[in-house]
Amino acid sequence: MSLSVFRDASGAETPSSSEHSRRTVRNEPACHQSRDLKKIGNAPDINDGAAVELEFLQDYLTEARELLQKAQEEVLRLEADPGNGEALASIFRAFHTIKGGAGFLEATNVVDWAHGLENLLDKLRSHVLPVTSDRIDAILTGIDVLEAMFRQLAQEQEPGPGPADLARKINLLAGSDAEVSVSTAQSPPAASLGAAASVAQPLSVLSERSMAAAEVSASPAAPQAAVRNGEGASNSLRVDADRLDAVMNQVGELVLLRNRLTSAVGSLSKDDENMSRIAREMDLRVSDLQNTVMRLRMQPCRRLFQQLPRVVRDVSRQLNKEVRLEMVGEDVEIDKTVVDALSGPMTHLVRNSLDHGIEPSDVRRNANKPPAALLRIAAIHLGDKVRIEVSDDGKGIDRRLVVQKAIDKGVITADQAAHLSEQEAVELIFRPGFSTKEQASDLSGRGVGMDVVKETTDKLRGRLTMETIPGQGTSIAMEFPLTLAVLPVLYLRVRQDVYALPISSIDSLTDLEEHRVHRLAGRVTYSVDGSRTVPVVDLGAILQDRPLRLGAESVEGVLTERGLFVVSEVLGNEDSVVKPLDFLNGQNLYQGATISGRGNVVLILDAAALSAVSSVDRGR
């Protein structure tokens, strides 16, 4: 059920009070009576009633969370432009609709809390009270309380009252001397927002209350009539993510069968043109189906970025730093799995930039920089990849300081530090337990955060790069394939064994020339086009314990972000579906396995793991 049924039929933005038009469930249309939770709770068939109630709850939470996120974005916009009437109206509507849906659920604490915020917003949009920093802070903190209440509802428990001290503050900021109207805990003021869920009861208790006690301030009759007349019908459909995953898995199996069919037809006589034509048509149809299903899983990066303005605001104020946030590419789409997994890492990157990279305003002035630093978050579409960047114009990273801190903390030894390249030295910040902070704070210093970024990027088959210029700033970029369901791979041969390497990790192919191979600081390296030197990763030495001999054996080079991989032969590329290797525990050299077009099981190599175990002493 859409929350739109709880809105005023006229679209009016009037707070819920005794002056409003109010209706109880007894006066609802028939379509609403079927959702009467009190009736469901007392119905003989408890299981059926509970199922309907749970379905309604899930629908409510999905849309309520979207409304709350939108409200937070609008509050931040309002803070930058206090006279923005459109933002005020949007925030008010969000709280009004959240309250209405909570009323149908009989979640009275949610209703009362949203009503208190709604009262404050009504005073602001009516210009009875001005928009101030204190009022913005109170609204944002009130949003945090509602989020905590939604988490309790998601566990099918009734949320407890919100923090009493915050409720009083909201009431005072609304200019009311009356008794606090926001539902609060009767215990002493809570120290954290967790108090919003401190008194949790099973949701089934809600059904024992009278619906009349939670009257809804919406009048959905007109919208219902519009829907019955076919007007305003939604163009979208909510589908459970597990169903999409199941469809994607089936398409993956179809891709494997397509590959096998293409290989089998290729081995037939060339005179059989009919079979070749069928195979080509099958290839096109499967590719179209694959692309269509892939697009179903795509989500805009806006969902990934939406929490970051609040993070920047809170942390910059805590650190007393002036920061201007710039977000680019919010409409760029990427696989849902990536969006879900990157929420935490993106927060870590932003906090790290604010805490470590960006200087205080007085320091920036002394360095002839603008007092307000620029923090830029961007999503860039690059063919079959998406690049996500977090960059700042701060002080950059001091490589020598990073190396010394790594030695002091035991992350590396002094001997290992002597063999590090400049890029490897900077990338020490992604090691677990590493931090340049002398003392830990609630923001950083515990050595946890940047390693999460690295680990998550590797799990998502992405590529992590960093560029820094002392005094000018730092840019950290992550590149991910558009979809994780189907993995394009390059098949290669190491003597008689065939392996696969993800194409996303490959830069180019190259013929090996013996005069470009050098030993540098005890490491075997290769000079690429005379412009850069990369480490050599001999797959023969690692996978078979027998180095491939340049000049004595047929060898080719595969240039990756991790170095130059030496193989016997490159066979070709193909779309594959990754199957996990559950029987391998802990660290290993493989991302998984796939089935080639010939029907053989092929191991997919992990470029990062191979590079890590490559020995500097292996000879040719």
Coil, helix or strand at residue 10: coil
- Whether 518 and 506 have beta carbons less than 8 Å apart is answered as no
Residue range 241-297 forms a domain whose CATH class is mainly alpha
H or E segment at 39?
A: helix 37-42
Per the model's pLDDT, the better-predicted residue between 377 and 105 turns out to be: 377
pLDDT value at position 49? 52
- Whether 216 and 7 have beta carbons less than 8 Å apart is answered as no
CA–CA dist 294, 338 (Å, integer): 13
- Whether 534 and 565 have beta carbons less than 8 Å apart is answered as no
483: its two tokens: 């979809």
266: its two tokens: 């290729």
Query: What tens digit of pLDDT does each residue of 572-589 get?
Result: 888 888 887 877 766 678
- Whether 544 and 493 have beta carbons less than 8 Å apart is answered as no
H or E segment at 296?
A: helix 273-296
CA–CA dist 63, 452 (Å, integer): 30
Decide if domain 487-613 falls under CATH 3.40.30.10: no
H or E segment at 416?
A: helix 414-418
Residue range 3-228 forms a domain whose CATH class is mainly alpha
* DSSP 8-state symbol, 396: -
Cα 430 to chain center, whole Å?
19
Burial class (CB in 10 A: 0-12, 13-18, 19+), 580: exposed
Query: What tens digit of pLDDT does each residue of 171-204 get?
Result: 888 875 444 444 444 433 333 344 444 334 444 3
pLDDT value at position 190? 36
Query: What tens digit of pLDDT does each residue of 423-475 get?
Result: 778 888 888 777 766 655 556 545 457 888 888 888 888 888 889 998 899 99
pLDDT value at position 325? 93
| Nearest one of 126, 96, 130 to 113, comparing CA atoms | 96
pLDDT value at position 45? 42
CA–CA dist 370, 448 (Å, integer): 31
Residue ranges per structural domain of the chain: 3-228, 241-297, 300-481, 487-613
Per the model's pLDDT, the better-predicted residue between 413 and 349 turns out to be: 349
Which residues fall within 8 angstroms of residue 457, CB to CB, at 6 or more apart?
345, 463, 464, 478, 480
- Whether 555 and 516 have beta carbons less than 8 Å apart is answered as no
CB atoms within 10 A of CB 342: 22
| Predicted confidence (pLDDT) at residue 228 exceeds the cutoff of 70 | no
Average pLDDT over residues 226-235: 46
Query: What tens digit of pLDDT does each residue of 36-89 get?
Result: 333 333 333 434 455 557 777 888 888 888 888 888 989 998 888 888 888 888
Per the model's pLDDT, the better-predicted residue between 106 and 31 turns out to be: 106
pLDDT value at position 360? 92
Topology (CATH level 3) of domain 300-481: Heat Shock Protein 90 (3.30.565)
pLDDT value at position 441? 57
Average pLDDT over residues 354-378: 92
Q: How confident is the model at residue 31 (pLDDT cuts 50, 70, 90)?
A: very low
Average pLDDT over residues 410-429: 80
Per the model's pLDDT, the better-predicted residue between 416 and 314 turns out to be: 314
Partners of 528 in the β-ladder: 532
* DSSP character string of 317-358: HHHT--EEEEEE-TT-EEEHHHHHHTHHHHHHHHHHIIIIIS
| Nearest one of 35, 33, 60, 28 to 49, comparing CA atoms | 35
Burial class (CB in 10 A: 0-12, 13-18, 19+), 48: exposed
CA–CA dist 564, 534 (Å, integer): 7
| Predicted confidence (pLDDT) at residue 617 exceeds the cutoff of 80 | no
CA–CA dist 527, 520 (Å, integer): 11
Query: What tens digit of pLDDT does each residue of 517-537 get?
Result: 887 766 788 888 777 788 888
Round the CA-based radius of gyration of the chain to a whole number and report it. 30
pLDDT value at position 422? 77
Beta strands in 473-589 (DSSP E): 473-481, 487-494, 497-502, 506-510, 517-520, 523-528, 532-538, 556-560, 563-567, 569-576
Average pLDDT over residues 397-402: 86
| Nearest one of 404, 408, 392, 458 to 430, comparing CA atoms | 458
For tokens 């899930």, the residue is: 58
pLDDT value at position 60? 85
Q: Do domains 3-228 and 241-297 have the same CATH topology?
A: no
pLDDT value at position 473? 92
Of the ranges 90-94, 391-395, 498-502, 588-592, which one carries the lowest mean pLDDT score? 588-592
Alpha helices in 297-329 (DSSP H): 302-305, 308-319
Q: How confident is the model at residue 607 (pLDDT cuts 50, 70, 90)?
A: confident
pLDDT value at position 24? 33
Query: What tens digit of pLDDT does each residue of 320-333 get?
Result: 999 999 999 999 99
